[in-house]
Structure 1
Amino acid sequence: MHVSRIGFTSLKGARHLGRPFVDLTRDGPVGDREFCLVDQARERVLRTVENPTLVQTRAGWDAGVLTVTLPGATVEGVPAFTGETRLLDYWSRRVALQIVDGPWAAAYSTHLGYDVVLARSTKGDVVYGASVSLVTTGSLDELSRRVGTRVLDAQLRATFTVHTDAPHREDAWIGGRLALGEAEVEVRRAIPRCRVIDLDPDTGMRRTDAMRALADYRRQGNEVVFGVDAVVTKPGRVYLGDVVEQVGTEG
Structure 2
Amino acid sequence: MNDIVISSLHIYPVKSAAGVEVDAARVTDRGFAHDRRWMVVAPDGTFITQRSHPKLALVRPSLGGGELRLERAGAAPLVVPAELGRGAELEVEVWGERCKALDAGDEAGRWFGEELGTDCRLVFMPESTRRAVDPKHGGADDIVSFADGYPFLLIEQASLEDLNGRLDAPVPMDRFRPNIVVDGAEAFAADDWERVRIGKVEFRVAKPCDRCVVTTIDQATGEKGKEPLRTLATYRREGSKVLFGQNLIQQNEGVVRVGDRLEVLE
Q: TM-score, length-normalised on structure 1?
A: 0.91
Aligned to 1:10: 13
> CA offsets per residue over residues 163-187 of structure 1, 9 Å max, x none?
13521101011xx211112321111
How far residue 80 of structure 1 moved from its aligned partner, in angstroms, is: 5.9
Aligned to 1:39: 42
- Indicate yes or no: 2:216 matched with 1:203: no
Deviation larger for 1-10 or 58-67: 58-67
How far residue 208 of structure 1 moved from its aligned partner, in angstroms, is: 6.1
- Contact residue 29 and residue 253 of structure 2 kept, 8 A: yes
- Give SS of 1:216's match: coil
> CA offsets per residue over residues 87-138 of structure 1, 9 Å max, x none?
2221222222222226321111111111111111135431112101101111
- Indicate yes or no: 2:170 matched with 1:170: no
**Cα distance 1:207–1:244, how it changes in 2: closer, same or farther (>3 A)?**
farther
- Give SS of 1:23's match: strand
Question: Following the alignment from structure 2 to structure 1, what is the Cα–Cα distance between the partners of residues 185 and 92?
Answer: 42
- Residue identity matched to 2:67: V
Aligned to 1:186: 204
Aligned to 1:81: 86
> RMSD over aligned Cα, in angstroms?
1.8
- Give SS of 2:69's match: strand
Aligned to 1:104: 108
Aligned to 1:67: 69
Identity over aligned pairs, percent: 23
- Contact residue 89 and residue 101 of structure 2 kept, 8 A: yes
- Residue identity matched to 2:146: V
Answer 1 or 2: which has greater helix percent.
Answer: 1
Count of paired positions: 244
- Give SS of 1:142's match: helix
Equivalent runs, 1:228-239 vs 2, <5 Å: 228-239=246-257
Q: In structure 1, list runs of 5 or more residues that go unmatched.
A: none
How far residue 47 of structure 1 moved from its aligned partner, in angstroms, is: 1.9
Task: State which of 156, 160, 167 in structure 2 corresponds to 1:140.
Answer: 160
Q: In structure 2, list runs of 5 or more residues that go unmatched.
A: 131-143
Task: State which of 142, 145, 152 in structure 1 corresponds to 2:172.
Answer: 152
- Residue identity matched to 1:154: D
How far residue 54 of structure 1 moved from its aligned partner, in angstroms, is: 0.6
